[in-house]
Amino acid sequence: MKEMYPKKGRVILHVDMNSFYASVEMAYDSELKGKPLAIAGNPKERRGIIVTCSYEARKLGVRTTMPLWEAKKLCPELIIKSPNFDRYRTASAAMFDILRQYTELVEPVSIDEGYMDITDCADIGAPLEIAESIQKRILEQLDLPCSIGIAPNKFLAKTASDMKKPLGITILRKRDIPRILWPLGAGEMHGVGTKTADKLKSIGILSIGDLAKANDIQLKALLGINGLKLKERANGQDNRMVDPESVYDFKSIGNSTTLPRDLSNQHELMKVLDRLSEQVAARMKRKEAVATTISIMIRFKDRKTITRSQKLQNPVSKKDEIATVAKALFLKHWNGDPVRLLGITGTDLLEADRAVKQLDLFSYEQDAKKEPLLHTMNLLREKYGKKIIESAGLQRKKHSSRENAGAGTSFNKDFLQDRKGKDDFEKKDF
């Protein structure tokens, strides 16, 4: 069996659940199977957005991020369901439990996908046999379909898993790159968005093969350091390791402060919450994370302490967004007594790049106003790298960041482990 594994190098699997939210709903209610189904952020609103949809709906033109009204126009018989995140987390935890029965080297990257390093699993079976076993068990035990990519590194494994959906298994070797990847359009490559593809087109790079052979100086001038990284990927180069510990970097981001004196003046307390929100937002920015739950801590003069939290429909990371939720929670639960300590924390964290915001009737216009600024920031990041628009805190050593953030999960994959105990706050006095 060892002959099926490389003498040097790795064997990486990328397990990607197919139409995960919709598939979970179908597993929960078998009457939904075979029907066009969509999960939408705000089914009652005309401007609700499709989060995901079944393959039956996709065949009729329904797509993720499509406005609900447009999806219904394309598919009048479309069944709409609101997201049930508790249900999805439970299914996700069960899926990752199955993966860990094959190897401890499992790295979740989102609720419905993860990498596995099976290099040392020759005693279990050949790579293809392991992939087939995983796919079969997830389907039989959870009634959920998945696609799996098998490759020598993360990039190629991710690329392979996208090639056959649903229920596909694809092997992609480095020697296959010129034949399979290079003829494809540059925009079809994982990591290349529409805007980047347009830029590449402007200098004559139309295919992945063109990108693989592109001039380094020209690429760097056009896209900055990201251009060189994309060229490496186009040539099948990716040295990132499967890191199970990356999921345990932090589970919450928070700040608290003991006030110089006990305060009962609402205006002054609001100012404290503003400062705390600014600090939490800065730390989220350094960690490239967003929060889907905001919690506050109030300690009164008599040292009685309460914590209250609110689950949010849309992820937040900006000062004003955090402050709005924190102030509302405070005003709802403050009894008017003098306050000794205040704290704000963001939990249920997601990586900023993977957070999909569900635009609804109430946030649509506000987000539209921010679009020019976000566009400019994205352009700068594409050209000079993700870290170009960051705070000076990025210069801190990684271990310091981890100490400040506390133990737990990196972008709080709470679908992987239950949170126990109170939220961790970084204590700082003003």
The Cα–Cα gap between 389 and 197 comes to 22
Q: In the chain, what is the greatest distance between 2 CA atoms, to the nearest angstrom?
A: 73
What separation in angstroms does the CA of 266 have from each of 9, 296, 330? Answer: 61, 16, 10
Q: pLDDT digits over 346-384, tens only? A: 988 887 765 544 434 334 445 445 556 655 665 665 556
Spatial CB neighbours of 151, under 8 Å, sequence gap ≥ 6: 12, 14, 157, 159, 160, 171, 172, 173
Q: What is the pLDDT of residue 428?
A: 35
The residue-averaged pLDDT of 73-96 equals 93
Q: Which residues are annotated as a binding site for Mg(2+)?
A: 16, 112
pLDDT over 70, % of the chain:
79
Q: 254-284, pLDDT tens digit by residue? A: 899 989 889 999 999 999 999 999 999 998 8
For residue 186, give the nearest of 146, 226, 230 by alpha carbon: 230
pLDDT at 312 over 50: yes
Nearest of 61, 94, 96, 85 to residue 75 by alpha carbon: 61
CA dist 381 and 350 (Å) reads 19
User: For 374-414, how does the pLDDT look when each residue is reduced to its tens digit (9 = 90+)?
Assistant: 556 656 655 565 445 544 434 443 343 333 333 322 223 33
Is the pLDDT reported for residue 425 higher than 50?
no
Mean pLDDT (the chain) is 83
Are the C-beta atoms of 293 and 310 separated by less than 8 Å? yes
- The band of 188, judged by pLDDT with boundaries at 50, 70 and 90, is very high
Residue 1's pLDDT is what? 67
Residue 230 in this model has a pLDDT that exceeds 80? yes
Burial code (b: 16+ CB inside 10 Å, e: under 16) for 118-146 equals bbebbeebbbeebbeebbeebeeebebbb
Give the chain's domains with CATH numbers: 1-178+237-244 (3.30.70.270), 182-234 (1.10.150.20), 249-427 (3.30.1490.100)
Under DSSP, the state recorded for 207 is B
- Mean pLDDT check: name the lowest of 109-118, 214-223, 334-343, 414-423: 414-423
* Phi and psi torsions of 23, nearest 5°: -65, -40
**Catalytic site residues?**
113
Residue among 131, 165, 97 nearest 14 (CA): 131
| pLDDT tens digits along 10-58 | 999 999 999 999 999 999 999 999 999 999 876 555 457 898 999 999 9
Is the pLDDT at 247 greater than 80, yes or no?
A: no
Report how far residue 73's alpha carbon sits from residue 90's, in angstroms, rounded to the nearest whole number. Answer: 33
Residue 354 phi, psi (nearest 5) = -105, -5
Q: How many residues does the chain have?
A: 430
Sheet of 113-117, strands arranged across: 106-110, 113-117, 12-17, 146-151, 169-171
CA gyration radius for the chain?
24
